[in-house]
């Protein structure tokens, strides 16, 4: 299946990815806030699309319909305003406050309490001002301080309420022990962590180890810091056994292996499952982040897959628009270039999306058919089953593709028809007939 901007690239063959440190993804923290980049478009779209179902799933009578969102590396709340705009694009705190506002209007109203922690005093001040402009300001608390010092108190104040903690640092985040014991170790039934794992940091630091040169004291300190974040030094062997010096893309591949190893360690230590979404700068590039959800409920996997899919659709549109502008084919003034108006852009986008829709349905259909060779049913609230059902389409496809695939297979007599009035995330897909008949 070919997915525009997603699975059409191989990390091994990235022309733009070198293991040489100068050519690595270097983050200029001032530039970061000057304009929302493609990676942030995906991040905020996924966050915005997941928070609502998270609260709907978890904030019930037992918690007085209350849930918490903790943004531990909150940033200033908005990007710099661009020419002609009064306000900048929203950062993660404002995305969350928008959700808090719409949840408060639901029946029964859901109370999403937002806590924003930001270390940088200037960012924290801007954030406080931005929050004050929000209609949901009463739902927000801004703390100027370091995540590693503030989180323990914030988490204690939440009691056993449902909570989603977002960790979005520039590089490495808090010590692993804090994430394991204090955040994931909370005594709460509904508790999730969304970590924006910085893959470029892993490949840059892994690259120091793999360079073959004698480590300086500063190198040693950097490498040791990664041990603290990842919780142990076993990542070093994982990196070095994958990394091939001088082979383009090898550091990125090794970093992705370290990320997978990290998720396995979290599962081993806490029992939390994980779902990682690759975040790329642009189609065809290696992932620079993995937006990773840690959770215990299979419903979370189902809903996060949907949020990722919606996020990717917004990301594809953003990239296609950026590309069109770069090539000078998207003019606001249709008189200048009638053929390349907003309408023609929308039509072109729809054509590629329609094609993708068919590919996704076909992929999911093939996966379910394969599963039915050895199974009599799959449960859509099971983490393993939902990942197997989506397979290669995980994070790209969503409920509408799954429904179409299921209906098509029911028509072919492979599975039982679905009960159209039932919620999909509670559903089971049951085999119809015997496995050999499916071949
Ligand atoms: C990648 S930015 C956050 C972006 C934000 N989540 C968004 O999506 O709009 C990381 C932020 O973390 C802040 N920061 C860095 N170290 C921190 C720490 N130890 N505790 C809290 N904030 C920190 C930085 O000042 C920066 O504003």
Kindly report the protein residue whose alpha carbon is nearest to atom 13 of ligand 1.
73
Verdict on whether the full-model pTM lies above 0.75: yes
Domains and CATH numbers, the chain: 11-318 (3.40.50), 341-438 (1.10.10)
Residue 74 CA to ligand 1 center (angstroms) comes to: 5
Query: pLDDT tens across 371-396, in order?
Result: 999 999 999 999 999 999 999 999 99
SS (H, E, C) the chain: CCCCCCCCCCHHHCCCCCCCHHHCCCCCHHHHCCCCCHHHHHHHHHHHHHHHHHHHHHCCHHHCCEEEEEECCCCCCECCCCCCCCCCCECHHHHHHHHHHHHHCCCCCCEEEEEEEECCHHHHHHHHHHHHHCCCHHHEEEEECCHHHHHHHHHHHCCCCCEEEEECCCCCCCCHHHHHHHHCCCCCCCEEEEEEEEHHHHHHHHHHHHCCCCCCHHHHHHHHHHHHHHCCCHHHHHHHHHCCCCCCCHHHHHHHHHHHHHHHHHHHHHCCEEEEEEEECCCCCCEEEEEEEEECCHHHHHHHHHHHHHHHHHHHHHHHHHHHHHCCCCCCCCCCCHHHCHHHHHHHHHHHHHHHHHHHHHHHHHHHHHHHHHCCEEECCCHHHHHHHHHHHCCCCCHHHHHHHHHHHHHCCCECCCCCCCCHHHCEEEECCCHHHHC
* 6: confidence class by pLDDT, cuts 50, 70, 90: very low
Q: Whose CA is nearest to atom 12 of ligand 1?
A: 73
pLDDT in tens, 93-134: 999 999 999 999 999 999 999 999 999 999 999 999 999 999
Nearest CA to ligand 1 atom 9: 91
pLDDT tens-digit series, residues 193-239: 999 999 999 999 999 999 989 999 999 999 999 999 999 999 999 99
Residues with CB under 6 Å of ligand 1 are 43, 71, 73-75, 91-92, 117-120, 123, 146-148, 168-170
């Amino acid at each position: 299946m070919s997915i525009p901007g997603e699975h059409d690239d191989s990390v091994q063959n990235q022309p733009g990815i070198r293991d040489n440190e100068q050519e690595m993804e270097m983050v200029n923290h001032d530039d970061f806030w000057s304009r929302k980049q493609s990676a942030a478009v995906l991040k905020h779209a996924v966050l915005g699309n997941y928070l609502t179902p998270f609260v709907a799933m978890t904030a019930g009578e037992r918690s007085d319909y209350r849930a918490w969102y903790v943004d531990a590396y909150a940033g200033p709340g908005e990007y710099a305003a661009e020419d002609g705009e009064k306000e900048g694009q929203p950062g993660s705190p404002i995305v969350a406050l928008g959700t808090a506002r719409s949840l408060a209007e639901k029946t029964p109203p859901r109370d999403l309490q937002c806590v924003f922690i930001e270390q940088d005093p200037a960012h924290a001040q801007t954030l406080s001002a931005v929050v004050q402009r929000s209609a949901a300001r009463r739902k927000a608390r801004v703390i100027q301080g370091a995540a590693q010092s503030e989180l323990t108190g914030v988490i204690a104040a939440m009691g056993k309420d449902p909570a989603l903690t977002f960790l979005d640092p520039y590089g490495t985040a808090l010590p692993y022990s804090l994430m394991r014991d204090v955040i994931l170790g909370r005594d709460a039934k509904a508790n999730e962590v969304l970590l924006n794992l910085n893959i470029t940091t892993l490949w840059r630091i892994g690259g120091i180890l793999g360079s073959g040169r004698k480590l300086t004291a500063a190198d040693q300190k950097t490498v040791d810091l990664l041990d603290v974040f990842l919780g142990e030094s076993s990542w070093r062997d994982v990196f070095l056994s994958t990394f091939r010096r001088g082979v383009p893309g090898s550091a990125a591949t090794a970093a992705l292996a370290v990320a997978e190893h990290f998720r396995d360690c979290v599962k081993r230590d806490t029992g939390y499952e994980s779902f990682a979404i690759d975040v790329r700068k642009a189609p065809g590039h290696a992932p620079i982040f993995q937006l990773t959800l840690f959770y215990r409920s299979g419903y979370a996997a189902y809903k996060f897959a949907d949020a990722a899919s919606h996020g990717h659709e917004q990301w594809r549109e953003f990239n296609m628009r950026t590309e069109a502008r770069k090539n000078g084919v998207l003019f606001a003034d249709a008189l200048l270039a009638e053929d390349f108006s907003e309408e023609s852009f929308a039509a072109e986008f729809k054509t590629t999306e329609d094609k993708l829709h068919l590919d996704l349905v076909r992929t999911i259909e093939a996966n379910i058919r394969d599963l039915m060779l050895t199974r009599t049913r799959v449960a859509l609230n099971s983490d393993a089953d939902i990942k197997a059902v989506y397979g290669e389409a995980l994070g790209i496809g969503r409920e509408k593709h799954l429904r179409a695939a299921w209906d098509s297979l029911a028509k072919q007599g492979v599975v039982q028809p679905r009960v159209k009035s039932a919620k999909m995330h509670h559903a089971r897909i049951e085999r119809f007939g015997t496995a050999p008949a499916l071949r």
